[in-house]
Amino acid sequence: MKKWLAVALCLSAATLLAGIPKPGAQKEVLAAQQAFADAVLKRDKAALERLLADDLIYVHSNSRLETKGEILEVISSGSTLYESIEFQEVTARQFDGIVVTTQKATIRTKQTGVANLFVTMVWVRQKGRWQLASRQASRLP
């Protein structure tokens, strides 16, 4: 009985702690997320190449889905000009080699003005760095 209780307590603790990012991972992912925002604003295609996973799924708040290639084209061509990207209320949860961030974001583009969004980003550790594998945005009321 005591053995089963100990096993149950260990499993419960492991489950509860699974979502808490290791301090180093959280710091690295939040830095990568800021580097992503900076690269978008500067239209830095080389930085985006490093930060975006090859199989990226990027979903805009209007449900438009783009791949890594499409995002790189849109940003580097200037067809959408980002003027500012600000994240607020950022949270991060880690699951092995994956960190999921959620946040409110205020994004301003020259073409569409200001958008207030809720954004979920999935970061994976590959190629020796954190890369954005998935992003989903929804408009806030």
Q: 11-59 pLDDT, tens per residue?
A: 334 444 445 657 689 999 999 999 999 999 999 999 999 999 999 999 9
Is the per-residue pLDDT at 8 higher than 70?
no
Angle at 92 between CA 87 and CA 94, to 5 degrees: 150
Is the per-residue pLDDT at 127 higher than 70?
yes
Angle at 52 between CA 62 and CA 134, to 5 degrees: 45
Question: Could you tell me the pTM of the whole model?
Answer: 0.82
Long-range contacts of 36-44 (CB under 8 A, 24+ apart): 36/132, 37/85, 37/87, 40/75, 40/82, 40/85, 41/82, 41/83, 41/84, 41/85, 43/75, 43/76, 43/78
CATH of 21-139 given 3.10.450.50, 3.40.605.10, 3.60.150.10, 3.40.50.140: 3.10.450.50
Tokens of 37: 């925002």
* Average of per-residue pLDDT across 121-127: 95
* Average of per-residue pLDDT across 82-91: 97
Q: What is the pLDDT of residue 96?
A: 86
Q: What is the pLDDT of residue 51?
A: 98
Q: What is the pLDDT of residue 11?
A: 36
Does 33 or 1 have the greater pLDDT score?
33
Q: What is the pLDDT of residue 10?
A: 37
